[in-house]
Chains A and B, each alone.
Chain A
Amino acid sequence: MRLSLLILLLWLIAALAGVVLPLRPDEIDLEQLFAPPTGGDAWLGRDELGRSLGARLLDGAGISLLVASVTVLISAALGTLIGALAGYLGGWWDRVISRLIEVFLAFPGLLLAIALAAFLGPGIDNVIMALSVMGWVGYARLARNQVLSLRQREHVLAAVALGRRTPDVIRLHLLPLMLAPLLVEASYGIASAVIAEAGLSFLGLGVQPPQASWGAMIREGVRYLLVAPHLVLVPGAALSLVVLAANLFGDGLRDRLDVTSRNRR
């Protein structure tokens, strides 16, 4: 939990550094093509056009953070709203929304995002849109199931029996208990959004050259894998670390948020 938090914090700092520091990620230095991470003047070496890998990594951190956080925010908010409505209203609403969720789940998510991104055209805003369109489904399904099972709980019934108004029942007895699993889901969502963004960029559907993104860096580096493996290893390692940290953070969060398991008896 602590280590994963540290890594996520570093990610945030790196993203901020990419904005604040006077880096020149696009500056070409043709005399130092493929400079290795150690020994050269540039931190982490240089790529096939002699651009500083360190600067590009920090720049890319900002892109991945932006895409991940905005995507998760949009899809979690949208999904929770739709799912909770379906669960609470029941009847026809529930049936229509449930079918819709199933239709979305039937598609391989990334494939649909690729199709969507290709249709909308490359660019960060389109990547966010494509990923959000796919992303809300998971939250909606989770929120719906949560509401369905929580509604049956006796403390909800007791609150109704005491004469709580419906909005108060939802605010006090449903939302706080739904929040924990949704937060955990969201922290896993960060990891998958980072991967999806890298994947789309790898395919050329995300950020466009010369702008840096971890996925785009890997795509360009793959061509020189045998000559200069650090071109792939550096962004690859950053990507793996962030994804791993986000997943571990989600696990930790899940354990932490379970009030009863923390100090039972």
Chain B
Amino acid sequence: MSEGPAGVQETVLEVSGLCTELGPQDKPVRAVDGVDLHLHRGETFVLVGESGCGKSMIALSLMRLLPSTGRVVQGEVRLQGRSLLDLPEVEMRRERGGGIGMIFQEPMTSLNPVMSVGKQVAEAVELHDPAHAASPRARVLELFRQVGIPDPERRIDEYPHQLSGGMKQRVMIAMALAGRPGVLIADEPTTALDVTIQAQVLQLLRDLQAETGMGILLITHDLGVVAEMADRVGVMYAGQLVETAAVGSFFKQPRHPYSRKLFRSLPDAGKRELGLDIIKGMVPPLNQAFDLCRFRDRCEAAQAVCGERLPPWQGDPQDGYRCHLAVDRIELQASESARHAPAAADAGQPLMAASDLRVHFPIRKGVLRRTVGFVKAVDGLDLALYPGRTLALVGESGCGKTTVGKALLQLLRASGGRVDYDGANLTQLRGESLRRLRREFQIIFQDPASSMNPRMLVGDIVAEGLRAQGIAGDRRAEQARVLQLLDQVGLPASSVGRYPHEFSGGQRQRIAIARALAVKPRLVVCDEPTSALDVSVQAQVLNLLKTLQAELDLSYLFITHNISVVAYLADEVAVMYLGRIVERGPVERVLNAPAHPYTQALLASVPVPDPDDRREVLRLEGDMPSPANPPTGCHFHERCPRAEARCRREYPARFELEPQHEVSCWLYAQRD
């Protein structure tokens, strides 16, 4: 089975009928339910699915690293013909890292902070590479070079905190490669990384695979990563594989209704006028035995038969889907359209405008906490927000975009510059006059879990602004307004008496939106409001934000790192790098004809959900410099492939390429 005749692909990993349960024996949660998959030599199989679908549990079951409450109750795992589930623990330890390498999502927490990275990799070499066990250093250096760590002789003695996130993930990969495994399991290896770094790591994984011929089992929630990496795809839903296919045919014609809905809920420029598809309802709890299709309640194409018995697997085990219906009989309704207000050609007067805004955080040292320097999180930034329009502020983590949002709303006080709102300079306002004005501009945060007081009822959370501003009137009027707001964001009235933790992430984000809308603001800063959410839930929240904008003529500052959300939602884009805006313009101009080399690289790094579009352009090397000590001249010149002598000396002036489209780059100097 594992070794076929020449010409037939060699199977390195074979999983059949895998069932994994979690929790107490008497009422278990079946996290993985009957999963079959094959991984060939030199092949990348990608498991894709939303959070809680069981994809990580598969990886942990294979490695026999399940949490103490978990157990594999059925099934077989064969690694190059050897049954892993029957191995004694001693031999299994040899397979982990030897036969199968694994890398995890969080490079920040998967390394030991008090041990040099070289030692940590050497540990893996000593365990799994007898030839080099006696003196592992040379082999570690070789591995470091292999994973593209620059200056390995110096890096080998450094500690994890001295390395950036991307470098740490490279160290993790080096560790996984130490035993020359035939199979590499990568569980969301780039989710915690910025897109430019993600592009580097994905490229590295592909190069290493070509070099070593290992099979990669990649786990992700990002269809863009799937398109970029996969040879074959498996879609997980509620603990089961619902579709497997070769990547080309999957992206051309996904078969299972769930796969199709996933695609239709992805935001992109083409859906601007339409709104995104949503998947209604929630994933069913897995602590039950299913005797009918587990997607039925959420499926628009469901027929009578779907509620009668379990759906059969149609097609080949390697290329099929789990559904009662034939592909051409699956009919999905057109999307529930979000209302989209066409942006007025003439935007008129800005609602809020920042000029030369600066936020510097002092770096203090010593017993007396003397200021020895500044982190220039925002360093001279101009932007304007117009009623009824959306400005997207785009950039990688650490570029200062969140700080901008907080400084505009005076949640952080600026170190310099001004923020004008309705004729007042907000940075000069204090006390009661500022407090009164706060109802006009609101903020929605990224993490709906921490943005709500866990000890307050949802009704009190939504009513908080009404009470703070004294605009509710009596209790009955307040109650009525709260119910109206909940209805507006699509939550039942019964939510009032419940606590935030009883809601899912998407529902919590709706509560946060209702809270912000309660005071009837004219401007809302949305700080990564969907990046903690799954795509189908993200679609609901984006639709809601768009509909609300059309209804209430809201102005949005949309802070995000997700380019496809920008394409779907924004009217204007501003790209930020190290505390400053490097390019700004109308969304279709910036996304289709980016001018600044950083914007070009950022856009090129975003994985696109289309396997025919595996671009090989402008991969950025290196990491973002520290905002405490930015490079002289143009902040970007160290990473810029087109840098000239002038870029090292002077920060570029701002050039207008055409009306509204501005870029700060010396490349455009001659046009001036």
Chain B 416-442 near chain A by CB (<8 Å), digits 1 or 0? 000000000000000000011011011
Given the interface pairs A259-B499, A260-B501, the reply to whether A154 lies near B465 with Cβ below 8 Å is: no
Contact with B453, one of A95, A160, A165, A173 (Cβ below 8 angstroms): A173
Near A by CB (< 8 A), chain B positions 500-531 give: 501, 512, 515-516, 518-519
B406 contacts across to A, CB distance below 8 A: 157
Verify A158–B468 contact, CB threshold 8 A.
Answer: no
Is B373 positioned at the interface, with any CB of A under 8 Å from its CB?
A: no
Verify B515–A162 contact, CB threshold 8 A.
Answer: yes
Bound CA–CA A176/B453 (angstroms): 9
B9 contacts across to A, CB distance below 8 A: none
A161 contacts across to B, CB distance below 8 A: 409, 411, 438, 441-443
Given the interface pairs A157-B406, A168-B468, the reply to whether A163 lies near B454 with Cβ below 8 Å is: no
Verify B455–A176 contact, CB threshold 8 A.
Answer: yes
Verify B411–A177 contact, CB threshold 8 A.
Answer: no
Interface centre among B411, B442, B452, B455 (most CB of A within 10 A): B455
- What total of chain B residues lie within 8 Å of the partner, measured CB to CB? 31
Main secondary structure of the interface of A (DSSP, over half): helix
Contact with A259, one of B369, B438, B443, B501 (Cβ below 8 angstroms): B501
Is B129 positioned at the interface, with any CB of A under 8 Å from its CB?
A: no
Chain A 113-155 near chain B by CB (<8 Å), digits 1 or 0? 0000000000000000000000000000000000000000111
A168 contacts across to B, CB distance below 8 A: 468
Q: Which residue of A lies closest to B437 (CB)?
A: A163
B411 contacts across to A, CB distance below 8 A: 157, 160-161
B415 smallest CB distance to A (angstroms): 16
A253 smallest CB distance to B (angstroms): 15
Bound CA–CA A259/B456 (angstroms): 11
Verify B499–A172 contact, CB threshold 8 A.
Answer: no
Verify B468–A164 contact, CB threshold 8 A.
Answer: yes
B268 smallest CB distance to A (angstroms): 29
B443 contacts across to A, CB distance below 8 A: 157-158, 161
B442 contacts across to A, CB distance below 8 A: 161-162
B40 smallest CB distance to A (angstroms): 37
Is B447 positioned at the interface, with any CB of A under 8 Å from its CB?
A: yes
Verify A259–B454 contact, CB threshold 8 A.
Answer: yes
Verify A260–B454 contact, CB threshold 8 A.
Answer: yes
Q: Which residue of A lies closest to B409 (CB)?
A: A161
Is B469 positioned at the interface, with any CB of A under 8 Å from its CB?
A: yes
A249 smallest CB distance to B (angstroms): 21
B438 contacts across to A, CB distance below 8 A: 160-163
Verify A163–B369 contact, CB threshold 8 A.
Answer: no
A264 contacts across to B, CB distance below 8 A: 501
Verify A163–B435 contact, CB threshold 8 A.
Answer: yes
B359 smallest CB distance to A (angstroms): 15
Near A by CB (< 8 A), chain B positions 60-108 give: none
Bound CA–CA A95/B367 (angstroms): 9
Given the interface pairs A157-B443, A264-B501, the reply to whether A163 lies near B469 with Cβ below 8 Å is: yes
Is A110 positioned at the interface, with any CB of B under 8 Å from its CB?
A: no
Bound CA–CA A154/B500 (angstroms): 14
Is B450 positioned at the interface, with any CB of A under 8 Å from its CB?
A: yes
Bound CA–CA A155/B512 (angstroms): 10
Bound CA–CA A164/B438 (angstroms): 9
Given the interface pairs A162-B468, A164-B464, the reply to whether A153 lies near B409 with Cβ below 8 Å is: no
Interface centre among A95, A160, A165, A176 (most CB of B within 10 A): A160
Is B445 positioned at the interface, with any CB of A under 8 Å from its CB?
A: yes
Given the interface pairs A162-B465, A162-B469, the reply to whether A95 lies near B369 with Cβ below 8 Å is: yes
A5 contacts across to B, CB distance below 8 A: none
Is B660 positioned at the interface, with any CB of A under 8 Å from its CB?
A: no
Verify A162–B451 contact, CB threshold 8 A.
Answer: no
Bound CA–CA A239/B159 (angstroms): 48
Interface centre among A159, A161, A259 (most CB of B within 10 A): A161
B512 contacts across to A, CB distance below 8 A: 158
Near A by CB (< 8 A), chain B positions 433-481 give: 435-436, 438-439, 441-443, 445, 447, 450-456, 464-465, 468-469
Verify A172–B453 contact, CB threshold 8 A.
Answer: yes
Verify B464–A154 contact, CB threshold 8 A.
Answer: no
B528 smallest CB distance to A (angstroms): 11
A162 contacts across to B, CB distance below 8 A: 438-439, 442, 464-465, 468-469, 515, 518-519
Given the interface pairs A161-B411, A162-B464, A163-B469, the reply to whether A259 lies near B455 with Cβ below 8 Å is: yes
Bound CA–CA A155/B454 (angstroms): 9
Q: Which residue of B lies closest to A179 (CB)?
A: B455
Verify A154–B519 contact, CB threshold 8 A.
Answer: no
Bound CA–CA A165/B438 (angstroms): 11
B452 contacts across to A, CB distance below 8 A: 155, 158
Bound CA–CA A163/B518 (angstroms): 12
Bound CA–CA A153/B448 (angstroms): 11
A51 smallest CB distance to B (angstroms): 51
A74 smallest CB distance to B (angstroms): 27
B369 contacts across to A, CB distance below 8 A: 95
Q: Which residue of A lies closest to B29 (CB)?
A: A265
Verify A154–B445 contact, CB threshold 8 A.
Answer: yes
Near A by CB (< 8 A), chain B positions 608-631 give: none
11 residue pairs A–B, Cβ–Cβ below 8 Å: A153-B450, A158-B451, A158-B512, A158-B516, A159-B464, A162-B438, A162-B442, A163-B439, A165-B435, A260-B454, A264-B501
Chain B residues within CB distance 8 Å of chain A: 369, 406, 409, 411, 435-436, 438-439, 441-443, 445, 447, 450-456, 464-465, 468-469, 499, 501, 512, 515-516, 518-519
Q: A157-B451, A161-B409 are in contact. List 12 more A-B contacts (CB 8 A).
A: A155-B450, A155-B451, A158-B452, A158-B512, A163-B438, A163-B469, A164-B464, A165-B435, A168-B468, A177-B454, A177-B455, A259-B455
Instruction: Give 4 nearest A-B pairs by CB, closest first.
Output: A154-B451, A162-B465, A163-B438, A154-B445
